[in-house]
Amino acid sequence: MNKLIPFWSILKKDMKNYYLKPPNISWGIIFPIAWTLMFFIRSETAVNIRSILPGVMALSVLFGTTSMLAVTITFERRSRSFERLLLAPISLNLLMLAKTTGAIIFGVINAFIPVIFASFLTDLSNINWIAAFLSVLLIAVTSTFLGLFIAVSVSEVFEAQTFSNFFRFPMMFLCGLFIPIPNLPVVLQPLSFLLPLTYGVDILKTAINQTGFIPPWISFLVLLAFSLFLFLMSTRNIQKKWIY
């Protein structure tokens, strides 16, 4: 119980101070919706909303979570308030989980905003919502820990946003969000399987349209492995650069 109090206090502070900041609104919510609308306008044929829904959901999670961490971690590090948190009587792992839980929640909520819009435009029956939710949750976790890894590697918010785009924009085209991986040039296909978003999107495609080609259990294991790896690398960087 004593550990839950500082955990909730840190999470509550982040929710109050950072969630509705302009970078989070623009990159986390407006950008994915605007990009999708552009896709609608540019298309010369009727768009199958269900076919692009997994990609839009994944984009919303990716941009929402990474934008959140870019603001919270780098801003607090620059203002030196993060150093005060490091002095709190809790473990570093618990501290970083408290700092990232808010972004994970933010990402999950972001993912289902397109679902609400889609429900007014198309039939969303026969969707495996349990698998879809678990996929969104794991995408949010891996994207958040990716954002954490980026945030602890830079010192300014604009650097974190720029560095995030180095990963985010290639993922838009290499992870099967809108272009199936088998349709990509052969030389690029191996890169797709090195990115965690590929596996999350494939689970979503299976859950929503039954068009995934990777066994879901493999995708879940890969996402868990990516999450653990990114979290451990982030805490290692904090211990190495900020504490010792």
Contact 140, 62 (CB under 8 A): no
> Please, what is the average pLDDT of the chain?
80
Q: Check residue 199 and give its pLDDT.
A: 94
The Cα–Cα gap between 100 and 73 comes to 9
Q: Give me the mean pLDDT over the 121-150 stretch.
A: 90
- Side chain identity, residue 209: N
Q: Give me the mean pLDDT over the 42-46 stretch.
A: 52
DSSP secondary structure code for residue 241 in this structure: I
H helix intervals, the chain: 4-17, 22-25, 31-42, 49-78, 81-86, 92-119, 129-151, 157-174, 189-192, 196-209, 216-238
Sole residue written with tokens 């029956």: 125
pLDDT tens sequence across 183-213: 888 888 888 899 999 999 999 999 998 888 8
Q: Give me the mean pLDDT over the 21-36 stretch.
A: 63
Better-scored residue on pLDDT, 43 or 112: 112
pLDDT tens sequence across 225-234: 999 999 898 8
Report the number of distinct structural domains present in the chain. Answer: 1
What is this structure's pTM?
Answer: 0.86
Structure tokens given for 52: 């692009």
- 26-65: string of b/e by CB count within 10 Å (b at 16+)? ebbbebbbebbeeeeeeeeeeeebbebbbbbbbbbbbbbb
Least reliable range by pLDDT among 88-92, 127-131, 135-139, 154-158:
154-158
Residues of the chain with pLDDT > 90, as a percent, come to 18
The Cα–Cα gap between 98 and 8 comes to 7
DSSP conformation letters of 134-155 = HHHHHHHHHHHHHHHHHHTT-S
Residues of the chain with pLDDT > 70, as a percent, come to 77
* pLDDT above 80: residue 162: no
